[in-house]
Amino acid sequence: EVQLLESGGGLVQPGGSLRLSCAASGFTFSSYPMSWVRQAPGKGLEWVSGIDGSGGDTYYADSVKGRFTISRDNSKNTLYLQMNSLRAGETAIYYCAKRHIAAVGFDYWGQGTLVTVSS
Amino acid sequence: DIQMTQSPSSVSASVGDRVTIACRASQAVGSWFAWYQQKPGKAPKLLIYAESTLQSGVPSRFSGSGSGTDFTLTISSLQPEDFATYYCQQAKIFPYTFGQGTKLEIK
């Protein structure tokens, strides 16, 4: 059974940093690109960042480029999102998501971890 | 970036109704397109990928169609568990982008 379990969320002040983790199980982690998607309270879904299976190629939304870093440790089956210079408007639930084998869409999602950016 | 625009933003319907939700991309995305369902407090669930392929375990009352820039999600006969918010997404070009969502409410 595929499972994705995020952790690392919490309360952080504007300008602060946080590192999210997503522990994966139930599939060959290194074979699949992964992404982070966030959802502000009462708002829609926003794709944040993606990474290929090897970790060699990374992609970012313009809104987070230069501040967020996605990475993965395939030996630990874990995806990461390092978030620096956080802004108040980035309060959201952050989900990790596994790309579908057909390379279109995300077929498995974690339960999400809440990041609150507030002073 | 590719902009995804859904219509309507909300729709009210009754159990048994046929409902259609539209999504338009600002440029052609081919078959690099997916639909999701999200219920309150839950993660999104993939319904349809590659424009019209039903994800495993999704009821056959859901269907997707379209091509290029215009896509449609149809629910043939609404069931109580279908009342949720639906999102479209393009996966052709980074950054991947979602539509703003369509909330399906009980009439």
Q: What are phi and psi of B84, to 5 degrees?
A: -170, -175
Check CB contact under 8 Å for B46 and A47.
no
Q: pLDDT digit string (tens) for B26-74?
A: 999 999 999 999 999 999 999 999 989 999 999 999 999 998 899 999 9
The fraction of chain B above a pLDDT of 90, given in percent, is: 95
- Cα-based distances in Å from B57 to A6, A34, B40, B48, B96: 24, 22, 20, 11, 25
Q: pLDDT digit string (tens) for A86-113?
A: 999 999 999 999 999 888 999 999 999 9
In this prediction, residue B61 carries a pLDDT of 97
Q: CB of A33 within 8 Å of any CB in chain B?
A: no
Q: Which of B32, B97, B101 lies nearest to residue A104, judging by beta carbons?
A: B32
For A45, nearest residue in chain B (alpha carbons): B98
B 16-75 residues with CB below 8 A of A? Answer: 31-34, 36, 38, 43-46, 49-50, 53, 55
In this prediction, residue A102 carries a pLDDT of 86
DSSP assignment letter at B101:
-
For B35, nearest residue in chain A (alpha carbons): A105
Size of interface A-B (CB pairs under 8 A): 65
Maximum pairwise Cα distance, chain A? 43
Label residue B92 by pLDDT band (50, 70, 90). Answer: very high
Q: Please state the separation of Cα A64 from the chain's center in Å.
A: 12
Q: pLDDT digit string (tens) for A45-77?
A: 999 999 999 999 999 999 999 999 999 999 999
B-chain CB neighbours of A35 within 8 Å are 96
DSSP assignment letter at A29:
G
Higher confidence at residue B107 or residue A69? A69
B-chain CB neighbours of A46 within 8 Å are 98
Check CB contact under 8 Å for B95 and A112.
no
Residue (of A35, A103, A77) closest to B43 by Cα position: A35
